[in-house]
Structure 1
Amino acid sequence: MSTSHASPRPLSSIGRLILALILPAMLAACDTQSAEKAPRPDRPVLVATVHFERLSPERSFVASIRPRIESDLGFRVSGKVARRLVDVGERVGAGQPLAALDDTDLRLQVDQAEAEQRAATTALAQAAADERRGAELIKKGWSTDATYDRQKAAAEEARGRLTHAQRALELARNNLSYATLAADTAGVVTATMIEPGQVVAPGQAAIRVARLDAKEAVVAIPEALVERARSGTATVTLWSNADKRYTAQLRELAPAADPATRTYLARFSLPDAGEEVALGMTATLTLAEPGEERVARLPLSALFDQGQGPALWSVDEKTGALALKPVTVKAYDSRDVLVTGGVEEGERVVALGVQKLDPKDHVKTVQALTF
């Protein structure tokens, strides 16, 4: 007995039409689910680095380190230089001998003054004895008043001569001590203007000594920045060590401009300067406005505002995540915006395409701009 199987019936035209309509919709749904499950690629963005600076730019000038007090020392008596005991660059202490004169004549003057003092002392002793005897004789009636008056006058004259001799001896000894030129205070020798054998006059500059306890930066200030020099904040950096800053305070400002350069000579004291700040070093003096607000200059295209206030998209460097941060705007320029708060120094913010970003997006930096 044979078994017969019925062959499948072909789809009708209506069935084929329904299948044609349902199949694309099913495929589209599958594609949508796959797209939702697939991670979105990181969007490349252009970022700017936040850098805060003063609203007005700082101005820098070349300065030199000088001592606040630098004195030309000289002998107080005339004479011939016998010895010069120091050279340029040597450090000296207070009272240290620097040079000496030939003191032969000065010693003779001391000997002469001592002899005059001895003679005046002897004369006074004789006159005083005569005065005492005259006083006894006049009491007994054996002498006249005129004789006693002469004896008293001679004694007074002897006393005056002794005082004169004593003062002359003190002056002679002082002059002998002036034959040695000594440093008034500790410092360093910056110049020597005498040599052995040279005859010098009283007060003539012999050796220049600079004190090391007070140093300052000397700089020429243009007339347009004189007011900033008076009221601004000043700092000094050495060319030999640009990483360390020293606080500077205006100590002296020339009352008139130099006729050739039209600049004003200014002296800034350096209270924190140590041994590493040597005299004659070249330095950079920087002037800034006092108490000025610091701002970050960023492109206008980085600003995001949808009616809730200005904000910036901050980028996490490690993960690429975005964070919308409200900021405080100081002012707007033609191409830039000045921000005073809301972001930190060195932070990266999106500079272009901020309107197309979403907090769920992850981005990657393709270029960084510093403002």
Structure 2
Amino acid sequence: MKQENREKTWGRPALLLVGVCAAVSLAGCSSLPASSAPGVQSVVVETIGHNSLKKAKMAVGRVMGDTESAVMTKIQGRVVRVSKDIGQEVKAGEPLIYLDDKDYQVALEQANAGLRGAEARLADAQRGTRSQQQQQLDERIRAANAALENAKHTLERTQSLFESGAVSQSQLDADSLAYTQAQSTYQQVLQEKSLANEGATRESIANLQAAVAEARARVNSAQLAVSNTVITSPLSGKVATKNIQDGETASPGVPLLTIVSGQPVVEASIPEDQINSLKEGQTVTVRIEQVSSQPFEAKVLAISPIANPASKEYPVKLSLPGDPNQWKSGMYAEVTLPEPEESPITVPRDAIVKRGSERLVMVTDGSKAFAHVVITGASDGTSVEILDGVKDGEKLIVVGQDQLNDGDPVQVLWEKENGK
């Protein structure tokens, strides 16, 4: 009887432990009853190690020509004619869009007229004063001299009459002013004659030459505007998109057509934490649903050394097999990224404790819990990559971690097999 009671007494803890372990294994609960020792938390742990995520890392991309170029206008204008349509072949330099050039032709004619006038003024200055102009100046000098002599005699007579009281002071002042004006006119005509004899100064010639250069620049600008009314293809290829129709207004900076050339490729955007898993010449798996549900192997053609500043992702070009005509620009592609050479450190997603803005995991040396701030990476929904914060081989608390703080005493109730 005593023997039976003793067996029953020893069997109860064993059954309790089995029940707890089964409950933990099946339910995956995050807390356990406190240890029999006061203030000691019972926990379940597993060893941290390198494991691949169950979900493959994916990136998205799109089909595009090896070279794509948007056709835009440099000037604003009404579209008279679009000579090419989607899918048609074009050659580099071939006219694609014609704009109404009437206003630009008028501006060119005005600029040419201004240039002709500036050149004529410069030529006159360089030739000097002509004989006909010299004769006109001589006649003006004689007339001005005669007027001056007449004003002088008149002033002398008025002065004599004023002294005798025959005329007023105002009359004397008027004749004095007339004499002064006659002197000024005579001196001005003499100066014009002197300048005409000396010819144009260096400064005046330089100013006229500058005026000619400015007028010629206006002509060049007007000619360029006229030439810009014919928009040509920047490269040889096919028209991929068409965003303008006859009669509409084309504005600078707005793509009108898109030209693609070369073998089609997939351009994918790879996150910065995965870009080092790719190398030029490496093959990856790509699936383009619009063509086939079956994936195919694509070669990495080029990897950009610079990330997109907005998305922090790196553009990567991948080859496309088979007939290039089956791949249409804009088709979406799913790219399966290769596994890294070394599997990352992963932990169960439920083992991560969120406290404020930080992400923590609790590890133990068997008697105490220690909080480690971690940086997480990709996740497959069950496990999470740990980029920094823990080391391979540490004991991770996977049950009971939510109730723990750094330095709390713990009792390891059970150690799970990693990943099970």
TM-score, normalised with respect to structure 1: 0.49
Higher relative contact order (CA 8 A, sep 6+): 2
Structure with a larger share of its residues in strand = 1
TM-score, normalised with respect to structure 2: 0.44
